[in-house]
Amino acid sequence: MDDKSLKVGSNEMELVDFRIFKQEKDKVYEGIYGINVSKVREIIRLPKLTELPSTPEFIEGIFDLREVVIPVVNLAKWMGVIEPEDAKKNARVIITEFNNVLIGFVVHEAKRIRRISWSDIEPASFMNSTSGLESNKITGVTKIEGDNVLLILDLESVVQDLGLYEPETDAAPEKIETFSGLALILDDSTTARKIVKDALQKMGFHVVEAMDGEEGLNKLNDLYGTYGNELSQNLKIIISDVEMPKMDGFHFAAKVKEDERFKDVPIVFNSSISNSFSEERGEEAGGEGYLVKFQASAFYDEIARIVHAHMKK
């Protein structure tokens, strides 16, 4: 699966709309969720699985997909949802790839592909736990037809919680090259911003933070008010996530590169999306680099390379 029909800078995303059903007494409730198409390899029928001993019950097992062993997580069980008896009749496994990891997720139904503007997606900070998921497991929410609400799942947070993936945050080189000046980071995840901020501070940068593309543009305007035409001499690099509510990283980058005041500041994308097509989209949007979260050794090397190139101009 891919989202190659999306225009870079359009501030749109495509989601796989899937459902999780919950049995409560005599009623069945339908939970509506979404996963970014960029993180979906394919969707298949529930295959025959090999169970693993001494694993949590929400790990359904593993199976071989074209000579690659895929662990399979039952999202309903992980959420603590009581499944209706016939929940598995239309079950599908969504095979995902992010942070260079392949994982399958069992869902009760995979409905359709939705194209949604990031400007219509709100952060999930207001959510409570009535959905069965804490707000930090949801990257955003958006309204769909019938006044229903679709919850966009934060796969990285879910998989870290399951213990299937740990970010590489401590693999810094023995000697870290240091710089002076400012760095601007954009990410809607507090955890991700902290990891990037800590790394940049080790490199000597003073860090300015933003939660999404809209706030990132506001921060740039504020910095221009301080530094004027010398901004690019002081702001050495911008590091932006791709998936962010309100304005995504590609749309943000396109706006930066078309603005004479900001276009000379290099942009590096730092995303969990690990397919080659997204790297191509990042380059088309004006990015000078594309990193997959969180690979510390690659991070330090790439940031140093790009900052050096910027300083030579």
Asked whether residue 266 falls in the same domain as residue 209, the answer is yes
Please list, in sequence order, all residues whose beta carbon lies within 8 angstroms of the beta carbon of residue 207, skipping any fewer than 6 positions away.
Answer: 182, 183, 184, 185, 197, 200, 201
Q: Do 107 and 92 form a contact (C-beta atoms < 8 A)?
A: yes
Which of residues 10 and 53 earns the better pLDDT score?
53
Instruction: Tell whether 171 is covered by a domain.
Output: no
Asked whether residue 38 falls in the same domain as residue 157, the answer is yes
Asked whether residue 72 falls in the same domain as residue 188, the answer is no
Identify the residue whose tokens are 């593993």: 62
Using alpha carbons, list the distances in angstroms from residue 1 to 21, 39, 140.
25, 9, 22
Instruction: Tell whether 174 is covered by a domain.
Output: no
Backbone angle region of 47, left / alpha / beta, with phi > 0 → left and psi within -120 to 50 → alpha: beta
Asked whether residue 21 falls in the same domain as residue 137, the answer is yes
Asked whether residue 114 falls in the same domain as residue 195, the answer is no
Using alpha carbons, list the distances in angstroms from residue 148 to 30, 129, 142.
10, 17, 9
Confidence class for position 215, pLDDT limits 50, 70, 90: very high
Question: Mean per-residue pLDDT for 252-270?
Answer: 95
Asked whether residue 157 falls in the same domain as residue 187, the answer is no
Mean pLDDT, the chain, rounded, equals 86
Instruction: Tell whether 176 is covered by a domain.
Output: no
pTM of the model: 0.80
Asked whether residue 149 falls in the same domain as residue 272, the answer is no
Identify the residue whose tokens are 């991700």: 192
Instruction: Tell whether 173 is covered by a domain.
Output: no
pLDDT of 305 above 70: yes
Out of 107, 128, 162, pick the residue that ends a domain. 162
CATH label of the domain that carries residue 120: 2.40.50.180
- Give the model's pLDDT for residue 304: 92
At 274, give phi and psi (nearest 5°). -120, 30
Instruction: Tell whether 187 is covered by a domain.
Output: yes
Instruction: Tally DSSP H helices, then E strands, for the chain.
Output: 8, 15
CATH label of the domain that carries residue 217: 3.40.50.2300
Instruction: Tell whether 3 is covered by a domain.
Output: no
Q: How many whole angstroms separate alpha carbon 116 and alpha carbon 125?
A: 20
Please list, in sequence order, all residues whose beta carbon lies within 8 angstroms of the beta carbon of residue 94, skipping any fewer than 6 positions away.
Answer: 16, 18, 35, 40, 43, 104, 105, 107, 110
Asked whether residue 204 falls in the same domain as residue 157, the answer is no
pLDDT digits (tens, 9 = 90+) for 166-200: 666 565 667 888 999 999 999 988 888 998 999 99
Question: Mean per-residue pLDDT for 12-18?
Answer: 91
Identify the domain containing residue 34 by its residue range.
Answer: 12-162
Asked whether residue 150 falls in the same domain as residue 232, the answer is no
Looking at the structure of the chain, the number of domains it has is 2
Asked whether residue 249 falls in the same domain as residue 135, the answer is no
Asked whether residue 30 falls in the same domain as residue 150, the answer is yes
pLDDT digits (tens, 9 = 90+) for 19-71: 999 998 889 999 999 998 989 999 999 999 999 888 888 888 999 988 889 99
For strands 12-24 and 109-117, give the pairing: antiparallel
Confidence class for position 91, pLDDT limits 50, 70, 90: very high
pLDDT of 264 above 50: yes
Instruction: Tell whether 103 is covered by a domain.
Output: yes
Asked whether residue 139 falls in the same domain as residue 189, the answer is no
Instruction: Tell whether 55 is covered by a domain.
Output: yes
Which of residues 228 and 171 earns the better pLDDT score?
228
